Amino acid sequence: MYEVRLEEGRMIEASLRGRLKLEARTGDRVVAGDHVTLNRWHDAWVVETVGTRHTAIVRRGRGGRRAKVVASNLDRALVVVATRDPAASHQLIDRLLVVAEASGMHPLLVVNKVDLDGERRIAEELTTLYRGIGYPVLVTSTITGEGIGELRTELCRGAAALVGPSGAGKSSLLNAVDPSLSLRTGDLSGRTRRGRHTTVSVRLVALACGGLVADTPGFGDVGLWEVAPEDVEHCFPELAALRNECRFVGCAHLKDRGCAVRAAVARGDVAESRYQSYAALREETERAGLR
Ligand SMILES: Nc1nc2c(ncn2[C@@H]2O[C@H](COP(=O)(O)OP(=O)(O)O)[C@@H](O)[C@H]2O)c(=O)[nH]1
Ligand SMILES: [Mg+2]
Ligand SMILES: [Zn+2]
């Protein structure tokens, strides 16, 4: 059974038509975020058709099976990191931003736990770096309430995904935005989360204010398999802006000769950490293509 929210806002339960069940076996299931049309069949609601997906989060198929869509039509990805416990890594932030860009979602960075002693500086550094690239950045604390109002504004429209490392405060932030959710916080270790249950499908949580939020148990196996090496640069806005400046068409930005990106890094116009993330992800997609 699927939970479906009608246009008027009411939640109902619906089952799948036979044809769609068949597709379920071939891998094209109905997933969280799909827009569907319904029909009445005797006393029950039945999902009749599934609309075009505007964005898709794709998860690796295990044991050689093909990758599958786990959520669709999420318009924004909120990348949530903490100043400390766990400390935010530039590499992880960039990877999640790229996954969001590649999935067609608008990314937004949330730097949480800014209340922790001495960690304001880290929040400021991240804010300067990522706002400079053009990403919206929210600085938050579930303890002091800083930034929660802005977060609420973001979450109460459309459908969004919260992604980020375990312990960053995703569930706490959702509770701060909508206390009636009472999500469990701080209870699971990273190890437990990577267990069997993380493959369970994504759920959409309906906030009282009307927004939908994907309650994703973790994005450990969500990645870049759909991204070709030459497309990685498009997921770095500040590199994409330079793409016509390199001397050679199709420049991978990995060698100095005639490369406008390397020159921009040398000048300090592109952050070293961003360039390193680019190079690492580009290499990763190249290796994936060879397998
Ligand atoms: N100091 C501080 N701790 C927080 C904040 N937000 C969450 N935490 C704590 O961080 C831990 C992990 O939070 P949780 O919401 O479960 O993280 P999740 O794994 O991303 O869902 C819990 O112990 C929370 O109480 C914050 O803004 N400041
Ligand atoms: Mg959580
Ligand atoms: Zn180049």
Count other C-beta atoms under 10 Å from residue 144's C-beta: 10
Give the closest residue (by CA) to ligand 1 atom 26: 113
Residue 123 tokens, joined:
């929040």
Specify whether 177 is located in the same domain as 269: no
- pLDDT exceeds cutoff 50 at 17: yes
| Mean pLDDT, rounded, for 69-91 | 92
Specify whether 191 is located in the same domain as 236: no
Give the closest residue (by CA) to ligand 1 atom 23: 186
Residue 285 tokens, joined:
């997609």
Q: Which ligand 1 atom sits nearest the alpha carbon of residue 164?
A: 20
- pLDDT exceeds cutoff 60 at 218: no
DSSP per residue over 30-95, as a string?
Answer: --BT--EEEEEETTEEEEEEEPPPSSEEEEPPGGGPPPEEEEE---EEEEEEESSSSBP-HHHHHH
- Ligand 1 surroundings by CB, under 6 angstroms: 112-113, 115-116, 141-143, 166-172, 185-186
Residue 166 CA to ligand 2 centre (angstroms) = 7
Residue 254 CA to ligand 3 centre (angstroms) = 7
pLDDT at res. 198: 41
Among 178, 162, 195, smallest CA distance to 79 is for 162
Specify whether 185 is located in the same domain as 271: no
Specify whether 110 is located in the same domain as 158: yes
pLDDT at res. 80: 95
Residue 269 lies in a domain: yes
pLDDT at res. 174: 94
Residue 241 lies in a domain: yes
Count other C-beta atoms under 10 Å from residue 39's C-beta: 12
User: What is the residue type of 270?
Assistant: V
Give the CB-side neighbour count of residue 226, counting CA atoms within 13 A. 22
Q: Which ligand 1 atom sits nearest the alpha carbon of residue 162?
A: 20
Residue 128 CA to ligand 3 centre (angstroms) = 25
Residue 7 lies in a domain: yes
pLDDT at res. 56: 85
pLDDT at res. 41: 85
Structure-model confidence comparison of residues 58 and 159, the more confident one: 159
Q: In which band, very low, low, confident or very high, does the pLDDT at 197 lie, cut at 50, 70 and 90?
A: very low
Relative to the alpha carbon of 245, which ligand is closest? 3
Q: Which ligand 1 atom sits nearest the alpha carbon of residue 174?
A: 15
Please state, in angstroms and rounded to a whole number, the distance separating the CA atoms of residues 178 and 198.
24
Residue 223 lies in a domain: no
CB 177 within 8 Å of CB 151? yes
Total number of domains in the chain = 3
Specify whether 241 is located in the same domain as 182: no
Residue 119 structural domain: 71-215
Specify whether 242 is located in the same domain as 206: no
- pLDDT exceeds cutoff 70 at 18: yes
Helices 272-290 and 120-133 sit at what angle, rounded to 10 degrees?
70
pLDDT at res. 187: 56
Residue 191 CA to ligand 1 centre (angstroms) = 17
Specify whether 83 is located in the same domain as 144: yes
- The per-residue pLDDT of the chain, averaged, comes to 86
Residue 62 lies in a domain: no
pLDDT at res. 287: 85
pLDDT at res. 65: 64
Give the closest residue (by CA) to ligand 1 atom 2: 113
Residue 123 CA to ligand 2 centre (angstroms) = 21
Count other C-beta atoms under 10 Å from residue 106's C-beta: 16
pLDDT at res. 67: 72
Residue 11 CA to ligand 2 centre (angstroms) = 24
CB 91 within 8 Å of CB 280? yes
Among 79, 66, 65, 68, smallest CA distance to 32 is for 68
Specify whether 77 is located in the same domain as 211: yes
The per-residue pLDDT for range 88-135, each reduced to its tens digit, is 999 999 999 998 898 889 999 999 999 999 999 999 999 999 999 999
- pLDDT exceeds cutoff 70 at 224: no
| Mean pLDDT, rounded, for 260-265 | 98
Specify whether 210 is located in the same domain as 251: no
Give the closest residue (by CA) to ligand 1 atom 14: 169
| Mean pLDDT, rounded, for 152-156 | 96
Residue 56 lies in a domain: no
Residue 268 lies in a domain: yes
Among 147, 289, 179, 148, smallest CA distance to 226 is for 289
Among 228, 176, 230, 181, smallest CA distance to 207 is for 181
- pLDDT exceeds cutoff 70 at 64: no
- pLDDT exceeds cutoff 90 at 247: yes
pLDDT at res. 48: 87
Residue 85 lies in a domain: yes
Instruction: Read off the DSSP letter of residue 204.
Output: E
Contacts from 252-260 at CB under 8 Å and sequence distance 24+? 252/282, 253/278, 253/279, 253/282, 254/279, 254/282
Q: In which band, very low, low, confident or very high, does the pLDDT at 275 lie, cut at 50, 70 and 90?
A: very high
Q: Which ligand 1 atom sits nearest the alpha carbon of residue 175?
A: 15
| Mean pLDDT, rounded, for 192-215 | 69
Give the closest residue (by CA) to ligand 1 atom 25: 186
pLDDT at res. 23: 62
Mutate to test the pocket of ligand 1, among 84, 143, 185, 198 (most ligand atoms within 8 A of CB): 185
Q: What is the CATH number of the domain that holds 264?
A: 1.10.40.50
Please state, in angstroms and rounded to a whole number, the distance separating the CA atoms of residues 276 and 208.
41
Q: Which ligand 1 atom sits nearest the alpha carbon of residue 172?
A: 15
User: What is the residue type of 72?
Assistant: S
Residue 247 CA to ligand 3 centre (angstroms) = 7
